[in-house]
Structure 1
Amino acid sequence: MQTTDAPGRTPQRKDAHSNRRRILATARQKLLEDPDASLDSISQAAGVARRTLYGHFPNRHALIADLTQEAGHELRQAFARARTADADPSQAVTRMVLAAWTVGDHYRMLITLGRRHQGEDEIRTALAPARSEAVATLRRGQREGVFADHLPAPVLAQALEALMLALAEENAAYP
C-alpha cells in the first residue's frame, strides 16, 4: 500500500512512514543519551537496515534537521493548546513558557546538536513562529500596562528565548 507523503514527493509505502517515525523516535533517545551517536547505531537501535535509514536521511545533518522541524511543529501545537482567549498577558506568557519547556525537554539534545551542526540561524528559524507569538503577547501586555515598556517586545521575547535555551541546555547536563 502506498500513501502520498507531501505535495511533489514520491508516494511512500505505509511501512516507510512507520520506519521514519521509528527512526526519528529512536534518534531522539539515542542522541539524548549520546549526542555523538552514529547513524549506524541509530539504525541498529531502531531495528532498521542502514540502507533504510539512509533512504530517509542521507546524512546526519538531514536527520537533525528533521528532528528540528519536528520540534518546531510540536512547539507550535503546544502553543496552540496553551492559548486561551481570556488569558491576561502574564498568564499567556506563563502558559507559553510551560508549553515550551515541555517540548524543549523532549528535544533538549537539539540545542547542543543545533549549535554544533546546524548553527544559530537554523535554531532561530525553527523558533521563529514561537518567537512571533511571544512578541505579540508581550506587545499586548505592554499596551495593557501589564509589562514594562522600556524595552521593545522583540527584545524581551529574545531575552526570554535565550533564558529558556540556556536553562534547557543546562538541564540537558542532568539526564
Structure 2
Amino acid sequence: MTPSRARKPRADAERSRAAILDATVQVLDADPEASVEAIAASAGVTRQTVYAHFPSREQLLAAVLDRLTGEAVAAMDAADLDSGSATGALLRLLDAGRRTSGRYPVLLQQLSSLPVSAHADHQRHEPVANRLKRVVQRGQDTGEFDNQLSPDWLVAVTIKLGHAASEEVDAGRMSSAEATATLHTSLLRVFGATDSS
C-alpha cells in the first residue's frame, strides 16, 4: 500500500471524528436527551460510524469534554497571561474560561454530572491548572499575591470556587454576572491581591 493511500483513510477517519464531536456539541447543547441517531444525522455519518469512534455514549461525552477543555485552554493562551499585572492575567484567564463555558451551558451541565475518576478529573484540569499556577507564581514573585499559601493550594481553591460559581448559576441562585463578580472578589481576597486591575 502506498503512503498516500494509507493517509487517506486516516484523514477521512479524523474528519468523521471531528464532525461527530462538532455535531455532539451542537445537538446535546440544544437537547441533552438527543439520541446517537440524531447526532449521527447532524454529523452526516451513520450511527455505526459514531460507535466505531466512540463505543459508548460515555466515551463520546468524555471526548466532548476534552474538546471543550481544549477550547478553554486555547482561549486562555490567547489572553496573553504573561503580560501586565498578575491580577489582570488571573482575571483574563477566568474570563476566557467563562466565555468558553458560556457558549455551551446546557451541555456543560450535563457533562458535569458524568462519573469521573479522580485521576481522569486531574488530567482534564491539568492544562488549566498549569496556566493558573504560572500566573499565581508570577504574582507571588512580584508581591502582588500573598506568598504564604502554596501555588498548588491557590490553584485548587480557584478551580473549586469556579465550579461553585457555575453551580450557583445552574441552580438559579445567581445570575452569570453576579457569579462572575463574586468569584473575582472571592479569589482576589484569597490571593491577598494588592492590584485590582
TM-score range, shorter chain: 0.7 to 0.9
Letter of the structure 2 residue corresponding to residue 88 of structure 1: S
Unaligned runs of 5+ in 1: 6-10
Secondary structure at the aligned position of 1:92 is classed as: helix
Letter of the structure 1 residue corresponding to residue 63 of structure 2: D
Which of these residues, 148, 151, 154, is aligned with residue 153 of structure 1? Answer: 151
Which of these residues, 47, 50, 55, is aligned with residue 53 of structure 1? Answer: 50
Secondary structure at the aligned position of 1:118 is classed as: coil
Give identity over the alignment, percent. Answer: 27
Using the size of structure 1 for normalisation, the TM-score is 0.78
Corresponding residue of 1:162: 160
Letter of the structure 2 residue corresponding to residue 73 of structure 1: G
Letter of the structure 1 residue corresponding to residue 30 of structure 2: E
Q: What CA distance in whole angstroms lies between the structure 2 residues aligned with 1:54 and 1:31?
A: 17
Do structure 1's residue 40 and structure 2's residue 28 form an aligned pair? no
Do structure 1's residue 69 and structure 2's residue 66 form an aligned pair? yes
Shift of the 113–2 alpha-carbon distance from structure 1 to 2, 3 Å rule, reads farther
Using the TM superposition, give the Cα deviation of residue 20 of structure 1 relative to its aligned residue in structure 2, in angstroms: 2.3
Deviation track 1:130-170 (CA, whole Å, cap 9, x = no partner) reads 11221121122122221123422222211211222233344
Letter of the structure 2 residue corresponding to residue 98 of structure 1: D
Using the size of structure 2 for normalisation, the TM-score is 0.71
Q: What CA distance in whole angstroms lies between the structure 1 residues aligned with 2:74 and 2:170?
A: 23
Q: What CA distance in whole angstroms lies between the structure 2 residues aligned with 1:124 and 1:76?
A: 15
Shift of the 2–71 alpha-carbon distance from structure 1 to 2, 3 Å rule, reads farther
Using the TM superposition, give the Cα deviation of residue 22 of structure 1 relative to its aligned residue in structure 2, in angstroms: 2.3
Which of these residues, 103, 108, 128, is aligned with residue 106 of structure 1? Answer: 103
Letter of the structure 1 residue corresponding to residue 35 of structure 2: S
Shift of the 125–115 alpha-carbon distance from structure 1 to 2, 3 Å rule, reads farther
Secondary structure at the aligned position of 1:117 is classed as: coil
Q: What CA distance in whole angstroms lies between the structure 2 residues aligned with 1:27 and 1:160?
A: 29
Using the TM superposition, give the Cα deviation of residue 82 of structure 1 relative to its aligned residue in structure 2, in angstroms: 0.9
Number of equivalences: 168
Q: What CA distance in whole angstroms lies between the structure 2 residues aligned with 1:84 and 1:136?
A: 9
> Do 2:65 and 2:111's aligned partners in 1 also have CA atoms closer than 8 Å?
no
Shift of the 22–53 alpha-carbon distance from structure 1 to 2, 3 Å rule, reads same
> Do 1:61 and 1:118's aligned partners in 2 also have CA atoms closer than 8 Å?
no
Secondary structure at the aligned position of 2:115 is classed as: helix
Rg comparison, structure with higher value: 2
